[in-house]
Amino acid sequence: MDARLPADSRRRYQKSARRASDKSGVLVVAIAVASFLFWLGQAAIVDLHALVSVPDTLGLTMYAERPVRSRVGFEAPEACPPGTATFTLGMAELKAQLGPIMGEPRECEHPVDSDGNTVQLTSTGRATFIQRTQTLMFTNGWRTWALNDGKLTTWIERAEDN
């Protein structure tokens, strides 16, 4: 600092220099702490499983329930008390087409994934609803029937020759 400056000017300059250095010191410490926390988060295994309930807690229920079906009449029942399994809606339509081939329901239709696909076990096989294609299917393990837009198709599963 130049000694020719008045004492008052020197004091003001030194004060502003100290304030600037205090601010930059706080900034350096804040960056160091943030970097350490970032490194700690990368190095440590953190269980974030509890965050799954946060959207429900905040009232965001977009994915809290089963997806809405685009075709009316193809929804699995909400609850199925033991001994009350029946074919309903789309599965009932498939049963009407196939008759005794489909057997009797062993469980209620229930969702199997977040895409809206459902499944229902029967005494002779498994009935499935595929949301993406709006197709109802039944298989007894070697033969499959599919109902889409009111059209029933069937095919036989064949083991490939080795």
Per residue of the chain (162 residues), what is the pLDDT tens digit?
566 767 777 777 777 777 766 777 778 888 888 887 777 666 655 565 666 666 666 666 554 444 554 444 445 555 677 678 888 888 999 999 999 999 999 988 888 888 889 999 999 999 999 999 999 999 998 899 999 888 999 999 876 654
The pLDDT value recorded for residue 155 is: 92
Number of Cβ within 10 Å of residue 136's Cβ equals 24
Q: What share of residues in the chain are helix, strand, coil (percent, to 5)? A: 35, 20, 45
Alpha-carbon span 161 to 20, nearest angstrom: 80
pLDDT at 72: 43
At residue 47, the pLDDT reads 60
**Cα 76 to Cα 82: distance, rounded to the nearest angstrom:** 15
Query: What does each C-alpha distance from 159 to 88, 89, 104, 125, 126 come to in angstroms?
Result: 33, 33, 27, 18, 19
How high is the pLDDT of residue 53? 67
Q: Counting Cβ atoms within 10 Å, is residue 79 exposed (0-12), middle (13-18) or buried (19+)? A: exposed
What's the rounded Cα separation, in Å, for the pair 158 and 28? 69
